[in-house]
């Protein structure tokens, strides 16, 4: 999704910086902004030199770096160092042309310019378009080989590849738990999951480079295979199985049933990893990291929503919408913990009393606006089309909450009070303090009802596309009706 740049200053500054890197004056043409992540801007452009050479390039720009002249290297410098070392180590990545930080002008903050690689990154296309039908079954194996090459990278080389860049090694469970307790309202299922993670944590004798965000959506893929591994800003040192668990997280399957990005089996992922590295992944260890990944994504969703609720954010709508995706993570945690999901009863949620506000009902009005947005999206430029679809998705959430919210709140309030809890946060804190047992059927009923209610509003289709059974068949779940 792109839109044409309107700021000629950026093209002029890019021409100067790229010309210096190429060692020859150049002109910049075709500058387009590519829709990217929540914090960074990505631009595609061509740079032509006087001798007729044309370079297809990508600019990644992070304007959020407040003091790029500080002593600590920023994430962009770390990403540039990672790409440089990854390329030297045989990982499929673009070539870095230049990386720097500036305090003023259109490149204020930090930026990175690298070669533009042709390929598709949009998961929905990769999982559904006929053009990728032949390569899809091979992708888990190829991903395993790429991950193995990443984990064979030499950490000490980062200091040479990017001046002063040293990879951090922090306890990931301690770090994400700290974010949870300091930024989120307590949620019972998350506290139960953190307790499970702490009690079952596997040991490791391998500490390697970890990509940190290797998944469907961060890879450029063609009908021939993987063309580039992207988005290295979270690279760090850690247990290499963290990357495999993150890749297998249900979130990154985008509605497809197969565990490895929606493409295929864990067995094929492990086979590729072993063929490249000689190391055979332990399925139980990867399963632990998959549970960790689901908890981590839930916390990240809240962090993104908090950013969207702050001042000066131009994509607040998208960020706020991510906050409602926590309900999907909670449902996925039920599957991973081996809990039975709650099946809601919603018989005539509005009751038989005639609508005080007559017709059209609020549901009718919201439906009409959503239909209008769908029509608008089909005729709009890609960026507007994307944001229009997000707006339609948000309206759907609002419509379902308007229809079901009162009934679901009343049901959940009754369950909480029946078992002596004021709200979910109180129950979560009791679980955290080991004063309530999440294995108690009565407590589990309260927890699973809340998750079912939130998912019914946020994304009722999520529970209709069940994931493939986990490696441990004992983790399979059955739904029960109440």
| pLDDT at 39 (0 to 100) | 60
Q: Write phi, then psi, for 343 (nearest 5 degrees).
A: -105, 115
| pLDDT at 71 (0 to 100) | 42
Domain ranges of the chain: 1-116, 314-481
CA–CA gap between residue 34 and residue 23 (Å, rounded): 27
CA–CA gap between residue 269 and residue 258 (Å, rounded): 12
| pLDDT at 178 (0 to 100) | 98
Handedness of CA 295, 250, 318, 32 (dihedral sign): positive
| pLDDT at 162 (0 to 100) | 56
Structure confidence by residue, pLDDT tens digits, 10-38 = 999 999 999 999 999 999 999 998 864 55
Instruction: Answer yes or no: pTM beyond 0.85.
Output: yes
Q: What tokens does 255 get?
A: 């509605």
Structure confidence by residue, pLDDT tens digits, 295-336 = 999 999 999 998 887 665 667 888 899 999 999 999 999 999
Closest by CA to 218, choosing from 190, 249, 183, is 249
| pLDDT at 383 (0 to 100) | 72
**CATH of the domain spanning 1-116, picked from 2.60.40.10, 3.30.70.3000, 3.30.200.20, 1.10.10.10:** 3.30.200.20
Residues 232 and 86 sit within 8 Å (Cβ to Cβ): yes
- The segments of the chain whose pLDDT lies below 70 read 1-8, 35-39, 64-74, 159-165, 310-314, 348-355, 464-482
Q: Give the Å distances, CA to CA, from 179 to 64, 296, 326, 453.
A: 20, 10, 15, 25
CA–CA gap between residue 71 and residue 370 (Å, rounded): 49
CA–CA gap between residue 344 and residue 432 (Å, rounded): 27
What dihedral angle (degrees, nearest 10) is formed by the CA atoms of 166, 207, 296, 299?
Answer: -30
| pLDDT at 1 (0 to 100) | 41
């Amino acid at each position: 999704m792109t839109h044409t740049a309107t700021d000629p200053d950026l093209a002029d500054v890019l021409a100067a910086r790229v010309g210096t890197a190429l060692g020859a004056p150049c002109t910049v043409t075709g500058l387009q902004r590519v829709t990217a992540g929540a914090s960074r801007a990505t631009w595609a452009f061509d740079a032509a030199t006087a001798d007729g050479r044309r370079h297809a390039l990508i600019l990644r720009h992070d304007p959020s770096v407040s003091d790029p002249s500080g002593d600590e290297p920023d994430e962009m410098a770390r990403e540039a160092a990672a790409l440089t070392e990854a390329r030297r180590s045989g990982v499929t990545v673009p070539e870095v042309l230049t990386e720097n930080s500036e305090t003023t002008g259109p490149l204020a903050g930090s930026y990175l310019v690298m070669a533009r690689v042709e390929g598709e990154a949009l998961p929905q296309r990769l999982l559904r378009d006929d053009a990728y039908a032949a390569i899809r079954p091979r992708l888990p194996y190829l991903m395993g080989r790429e991950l193995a090459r990443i984990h064979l990278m030499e950490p000490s080389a980062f200091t040479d590849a990017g001046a002063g860049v040293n990879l951090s090694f922090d306890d990931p469970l301690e770090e994400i738990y700290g974010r949870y307790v300091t930024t989120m309202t307590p949620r019972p299922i998350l506290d139960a999951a953190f307790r499970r993670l702490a009690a079952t944590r596997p040991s490791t004798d391998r500490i390697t480079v970890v990509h940190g965000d290797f998944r469907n959506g961060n890879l450029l893929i063609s009908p021939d295979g993987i063309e580039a591994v992207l988005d290295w800003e979270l690279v760090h040192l850690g247990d290499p199985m963290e990357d495999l668990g993150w890749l297998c997280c249900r979130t990154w399957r985008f509605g497809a049933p197969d565990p490895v990005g929606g493409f295929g089996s864990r067995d094929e992922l492990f086979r590729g990893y072993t063929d490249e590295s000689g190391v055979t992944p332990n399925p139980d260890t990867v399963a632990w990291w998959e549970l960790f990944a689901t908890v981590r994504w839930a916390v990240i969703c809240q962090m993104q929503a908090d950013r969207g609720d702050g001042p000066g954010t131009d994509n607040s709508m998208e960020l706020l919408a991510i906050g409602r995706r926590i309900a999907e993570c909670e449902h996925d945690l039920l599957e991973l913990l081996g809990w039975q999901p709650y099946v809601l009863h919603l018989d005539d949620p509005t009751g038989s009393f005639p609508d005080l506000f007559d017709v059209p009902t609020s549901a009718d009005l919201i439906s009409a606006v959503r239909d209008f947005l769908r029509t608008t999206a089909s005729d709009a430029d890609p960026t507007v089309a994307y944001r229009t679809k997000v707006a339609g998705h948000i309206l759907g959430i609002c419509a379902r909450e308007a229809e079901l919210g009162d009934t679901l709140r009343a049901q959940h309030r009754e369950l909480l009070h029946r078992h002596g809890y004021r709200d979910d946060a109180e129950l979560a804190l009791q679980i955290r303090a080991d004063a309530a047992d999440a294995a108690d059927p009565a407590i589990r009923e309260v927890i699973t009802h809340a998750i079912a209610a939130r998912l019914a509003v946020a994304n009722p289709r999520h529970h209709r596309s069940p994931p493939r059974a986990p490696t441990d068949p004992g983790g399979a779940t059955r739904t029960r009706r109440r």
